[in-house]
Amino acid sequence: MRLAASLLAACLATGQAFAVPLTCTKAAERAAFDTEALKSELMVTALTCKQQEKYDAFIHTYQPVLTATETDLNGYFKHAYGRQYQKAHDDYISNLANVQSEEGLKMGTAFCQTYSDMFDEVLALHNGTELPDYAHSKALVQPQSFSTCADTPVKSSRKVRHTKKKSA
């Protein structure tokens, strides 16, 4: 858990701006942003409310989903930022922790009362596939807003030749 505390301290120290990309998010990427916001909120809650054991249980229980989330986030940042994707991804994680910590400070003692129950709710889910929907249902603070891409028809690269029927 010391790693989480060090990570949070590093995130709060950077204070770097997160540039809003000119791209929309796919459904899987949006689910990844929601899940990452939940993970970050739980980390802030664990550190603020002294619930490290519950955070560790969350990480252990949902490790496969959290790994997939990281893969989806990397895909988004690579697409949106190209060679600068790692910096943009790191900036996002830092700013996410910053805005969530600031929100916690504004709430004062109500923060722990409000967010501590999320550990029990998350750990009561039936499986990891429910985690993104749970995260999306919560009013979690994000450093930016996201738009989901509309489904667009995929154009086939195969050429179709139309021929006229000969009349008899």
Section 144-158 average pLDDT = 54
Provide the greatest CA pair distance for the chain: 87
Q: For residue range 42-84, what is the model confidence (pLDDT) as tens digits?
A: 999 999 999 999 999 999 999 999 999 999 999 999 988 999 9
Per the domain annotation, does 123 fall within a domain?
Answer: yes
- Residue identified by tokens 């910590």 is 101
Reduced to 3 states (helix: H, G, I; strand: E, B; else coil), residue 25 is: strand
Per the domain annotation, does 156 fall within a domain?
Answer: no
Looking at residue 10, what is its pLDDT?
A: 42
Per the domain annotation, does 17 fall within a domain?
Answer: no
Alpha-carbon distance 71 to 138, whole Å?
A: 22
Q: pLDDT: is 147 or 80 the higher one?
A: 80
Q: Which two tokens stand for residue 110?
A: 């109500």
Per the domain annotation, does 166 fall within a domain?
Answer: no
Per the domain annotation, does 167 fall within a domain?
Answer: no
Section 85-98 average pLDDT = 94
Place 144 in a pLDDT band, splitting at 50, 70 and 90. Answer: confident
**Residue 7 pLDDT > 60:** no
Per the domain annotation, does 144 fall within a domain?
Answer: no
Rg (C-alpha) for the chain, rounded Å, is 20
Cβ neighbours of 2 (radius 10 Å): 7
Looking at residue 34, what is its pLDDT?
A: 93
Looking at residue 23, what is its pLDDT?
A: 63
Total structural domains in the chain? 1
**Residue 3 pLDDT > 60:** no
Q: For residue range 92-142, what is the model confidence (pLDDT) as tens digits?
A: 999 999 999 998 899 998 999 888 999 999 999 998 899 999 999 998 888
**Residue 30 pLDDT > 80:** yes
Per the domain annotation, does 96 fall within a domain?
Answer: yes
Q: pLDDT: is 15 or 113 the higher one?
A: 113
Task: Tell me the residue range of the domain where 68 lies.
Answer: 2-11+26-137
Please give the distance of CA 67 from its chain centroid, rounded to a whole number. Answer: 11
7 closest CA partner among 43, 39, 31: 43
Per the domain annotation, does 165 fall within a domain?
Answer: no
